[in-house]
Amino acid sequence: MADLATLNDGDSAVYIGTLRDEEGDAIPVTGLESLTLTVYDPTTGNIINTRNAQDVLDANNVSCYDTLQTIIIDGKTHTYNIRWLMQPADNVVQGANLTERRNAFFISVWSTGTKRATHPFTWLIQKQPTTPLVVPTP
């Protein structure tokens, strides 16, 4: 899995990615029969925010594009054909740990169900301290 980032507990965020076929080519979104998203905590196996094989083909906070989109972040060009607007409930620390890992994957199906590709990724969520930090003054 790639794309490891760290988000704050309860924050919204944007994930961009490119769905690719078995040859490594971008999948034309108009040819997709289905696109689902599953998000889970790998430690407990719990599904996060009811995103268990959730239909996200231009639905449920996911936008899909027929042509690759381009964005420049910190001077680096990125292309994508899916954009997920992550909601605060997608990024909630559920246990007692200060940091939790989240795994997710999109599954795309096309060609009358004969072709399928999985697009996995992972990220970290860190809980913010509930008590103020005391910084000693010199």
105: left (phi over 0), alpha (psi -120 to 50) or beta: beta
**Edge to edge, what strands does the sheet with 99-110 contain?**
6-8, 115-126, 99-110, 32-40, 54-55
Structural domains in the chain, sorted by start = 6-126 (2.60.40)
Q: Which range (2-6, 12-16, 78-82, 114-118) has the least confidence?
A: 2-6
DSSP string, 6-53: EEETT--EEEEE--B-TTSPBPPGGGEEEEEEEEE-TTT-PBSTT-SS
**What share of the chain has pLDDT > 90, as a percent?**
78
- Of the two residues 131 and 104, the one the predictor is more confident about is 104
Which band of pLDDT confidence, cut at 50, 70 and 90, is reported for residue 50? very high
Q: Taking 80 as the threshold, does the pLDDT of residue 94 lie above it? A: yes
**Measured between alpha carbons, how far is residue 51 from residues 8, 39, 136 in Å?**
19, 6, 44
pLDDT, mean over the chain: 91
Q: What pLDDT shows up at residue 28?
A: 87
Q: What pLDDT shows up at residue 133?
A: 60
Mean pLDDT of 51-56: 98
- Of the two residues 94 and 56, the one the predictor is more confident about is 56
Q: Taking 70 as the threshold, does the pLDDT of residue 2 lie above it? A: no
Q: What pLDDT shows up at residue 1?
A: 41
Residues 72, 9: contact at Cβ < 8 Å? no
- Nearest-CA neighbor of 36 among 117, 122, 93? 117
Cβ neighbours for 125, distance < 8 A, ≥ 6 positions apart:
6, 7, 8, 9, 91, 92, 93, 99, 100, 101, 102
Q: What pLDDT shows up at residue 11?
A: 93
pLDDT in tens, 7-17: 999 999 999 99
